[in-house]
Amino acid sequence: MKKEKKTLFIHQPQFKGGPKELTKFIYSNLRYPKEAFEAGVEGTVYIEYDIDYQGNVVATRVLQGLSHGCDEEACRVVQLMKFDVERNRGVHVLFHQKVKVQFKKPKQVPVQEPALQAQMQVAYTVTSSAPPKPEEKPAEVTYNYTIQL
């Protein structure tokens, strides 16, 4: 019985779920920029990105962009991705991949999420109370024993 030989020396990173899940992830996290909506910009942004040995996207570069905030938004979404990387015989490899992100003008005006505002209200109520009275102890009972021999 022969041992099966691995065909690849270096394993490529895979997005969990495959290419369909990758596309689904990109378009579910993509927000159409308000500036691009007002300018009527549509098109495709081509991005090259680097994946480290842990599966994190560490760098993005726009190969062909649209401007009006589309390039920045596409880079933001690509940097959110996390890949599954198999061990490559102890070698830390930096992978380069490319992806295209299409921007189509939505029918409705994109709603900009308001900046996060945190408010905290603290109300203190101070009451003065007399110190608690020590509980009265019942009179101590003493016992005397006399032993005669």
Specify the CATH number for the domain of residue 60: 3.30.2420.10
**Residues whose CB falls within 8 Å of the CB of residue 81, separated by 6 or more in sequence, listed in order:** 15, 22, 25, 26, 57
Domain assignment of residue 110, yes or no: no
Range(s) of the domain holding residue 37 = 14-103
pTM: 0.64
pLDDT computed for residue 44 by the predictor: 93
Name the domain count of the chain: 1
* 73, part of any domain: yes
- Is 82 a domain residue? yes
Element housing 58 (H / E): strand 57-64
pLDDT tens track, the chain, 149 positions: 677 666 667 788 889 989 999 999 999 999 988 888 888 889 999 999 999 989 999 999 999 988 888 999 999 999 999 999 888 777 888 899 999 999 988 777 655 565 666 676 777 777 766 666 666 666 677 777 777 76
Residue 126 lies inside a defined structural domain of this protein: no
Does residue 139 lie within any of the structural domains? no
Tell me whether residue 83 is in a domain.
yes
Position 136 in a domain = no
